């Protein structure tokens, strides 16, 4: 059954032109009787450098323990894609995504790892977390090795 309040699932959806114009849909958590981890991996995230206008690339890993709601994955995909023409530093993009998910979902716990490819020869990794991990929930490593270039 599709929630009647969903704005994108099951219908033609235009790609949002900016993160501010994107909508994240939340659906009821089907398993509220236990704590568990949900992971989304976005290995081809892109945004724009606000200084040079050149594209920036990252591998994002989002982990969260839901409360009453989970994010609808199509809306998350469109939200993340809305950064493609968004000019912001790595730190701003990573934390903006984490804060938006917290605002919409009000999860019990959330973390996001932004593993950015080098800009100016230096890779920048950005991490945001809402607090201590939930006891008893399996929390796997994010699995993204440090950037090593060709060596």
* Residues catalogued as catalytic: 49, 56
Residues with Cβ < 8 Å from 96, sequence gap 6 or more?
A: 19, 88
Residue 48 in 3-state DSSP?
A: strand
Cβ atoms of 52 and 87 within 8 Å: the answer is no
Residue 8 in 3-state DSSP?
A: coil
Cβ atoms of 126 and 78 within 8 Å: the answer is no
Q: What is the CA radius of gyration of the chain?
A: 16
């Amino acid at each position: 059954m599709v929630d009647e309040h969903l704005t994108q699932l099951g219908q033609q959806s235009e790609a949002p032109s900016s993160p501010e114009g994107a909508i994240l849909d939340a659906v009821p958590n089907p398993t509220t009787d236990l704590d568990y981890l949900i992971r989304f991996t976005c290995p081809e995230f892109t945004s724009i450098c606000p200084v040079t206008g050149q594209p920036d690339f990252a591998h994002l890993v989002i982990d969260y323990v839901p409360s009453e709601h989970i994010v609808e994955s199509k809306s998350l995909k469109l939200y993340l894609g809305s950064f493609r023409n968004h000019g912001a530093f790595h730190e701003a993009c990573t934390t903006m995504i984490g804060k938006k998910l917290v605002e919409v979902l009000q999860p019990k716990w959330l973390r996001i790892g932004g593993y950015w490819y080098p800009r100016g020869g230096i890779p920048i990794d950005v991490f945001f977390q809402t607090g201590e991990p939930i006891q008893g929930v399996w929390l796997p490593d994010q699995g993204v090795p440090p950037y090593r270039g060709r060596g």
